[in-house]
Structure 1
Amino acid sequence: FPLKTDLNAQKQQMSNSSSITEFLLLAFADTRELQLLHFWLFLCIYLAALLGNGLIINTIACDQRLHTPMYFFLLNLSVLDLASISTTLPKSMVNS
Structure 2
Amino acid sequence: AMCTKPVLLCLDEPAAGLNPKESAELNQLISYIKNEHRIGIILIEHDMSVVMKISDHIIVLDHGSKIADGTPEAIKEDPAVIAAYLGEEA
Give 1 or 2 for the bigger CA radius of gyration: 1
TM-score (norm 1): 0.29
* Bigger RCO (CA 8 Å, 6+ sep): 1
